[in-house]
Amino acid sequence: MSVVRAAARRGVIDALPLFVPAIPFGLVIGLAITNTGMNPFVGWSGSWLIFGGAAQLTLITLLGGGVAVAAAVGTALVVNARHLMYSAALAPTFQRQPRWFRWFGPYLLVDQLFALATIRLEDEPDSFRTYYLAAGALFWILWSVVVAVGLLLGPVVPEEWNLEFAIPILFIGLLVLGIEHWPELVAALVGAGVTYLAAGLPSRTGLLVGAFVGMIAGFVAERIRRE
Amino acid sequence: MSDFLATAVVGLGTYLFRAVFIVVLARRRIPDVVLVALKYVAPAVLGALIVALLTDSEGNVEIGVPEVAAFVAGGFIAHRTRSHVWTLVVGMAVYWVTLALI
């Protein structure tokens, strides 16, 4: 029992510092919900329905910006497609887990939890499960709270501050942190460039076109890099 | 209501992405071609999103000196500090200062 308790404590201790960078992100999402005039509860519900900040922010800003619902949903899903990789990477470890955890565990699988789980793959199944649940529960609770705080701050912040510009700044940060080699930069630049050229397409679908062409460009660039 | 439905659909889809290999396809491997393509989804979407955020409802992209200055500063700080907090602080500060100067 004490081993399990130690794993729980370890999970919480490891998760706390990883949550810090998510705080401004959560606050900006709260502000974005206010700015777009979306029903606050509906906007906040994404914190636990989606439980993934980048997709939640994408969905809120696109729905608020008059993008067709299908395009907004499609883009938010594309943003979260990376979770397929996490699922594949953790699948062998999860085979040693009880069925309820194989079904419930993936719900909590945010980027930070994936990063923590990958260094615990060799743990005993009980310890791994406790560690994962403790860290995941902490992220889940704190995330809902931070977004709610952002919602409360939203109406208080003066409009002249142009705080909505914090959203593209955050995306720039996410983008830069994800670039390891030049093909990723190619994907980003082509994605941005094609979206710019396709800005006049109906229902703002230029975004999806740009993202798709950018992905292809990154793929091709990777081939060139390997040769 | 449609906003809530859209959120629920994204939530369900996200869960499926996270669960599919763990729950049903544990012995399947993702083909290498798909793995390589997935790596480029995030940067391509983020690049596209940033432009989309600066596009108004008529399809005009509104980007001027303050935006470009803030992006350059924010990108540089993100690269140097690996910190979202600093990226946000410096990016917004540069944006406000250039906006006030112009």
Q: Looking at the 3D structure of chain B, how many domains does it have?
A: 1
Q: Considering CB atoms only, which of A84, A172, A194 is closest to B20?
A: A84
The residue of chain B with its CA nearest to that of A72 is B6
> According to the model, what pLDDT value does residue B8 have?
96
Q: How many CB pairs under 8 A join A and B?
A: 282
Distance CA A172, CA B74 (A): 7
Domain membership flag for residue B26? no
By the CB < 8 Å criterion, does A92 face chain B?
yes
In a domain, B79, yes or no: yes
Which one of A59, A174, A215 has the shortest CB-CB distance to B6? A59
Domain ranges in chain A? 2-163, 179-227
B contacts of A103 (beta carbons < 8 Å): 19, 23
Q: Which residues of B touch A220 (CB under 8 A)?
A: none
Domain that holds residue B86: 64-102
Mean pLDDT by groups of 10 residues along chain B of 102 residues: 90 95 78 80 86 76 88 94 86 93 86
pLDDT in tens, chain A (227 residues): 588 889 999 999 888 877 877 888 888 899 889 888 899 999 999 999 999 988 999 899 889 887 889 888 998 998 888 788 788 888 888 988 999 999 999 999 998 898 888 888 888 999 999 999 999 999 999 999 999 999 998 778 777 777 778 878 888 888 898 888 899 999 999 999 999 998 877 666 788 889 889 999 999 999 998 88
The answer to the question of residue B18 being in a domain is no
A65: closest chain B residue by CA: B57
Q: Is B55 helix (H, G, I), strand (E, B) or coil?
A: strand
Assigned domain for B34 exists:
no
Chain-chain contact of B44 with A39 (C-beta, under 8 angstroms)? no
In this prediction, residue A62 carries a pLDDT of: 87
For residue B99, is it within any domain? yes
Q: Spell out which residues of chain B touch residue A105, defining contact as CB-CB under 8 Å.
A: 22
Asked if residue B32 belongs to a domain, the reply is no
pTM: 0.78
Contact with chain B for residue A107, Cβ under 8 A: yes
Determine the pLDDT at residue B37: 80
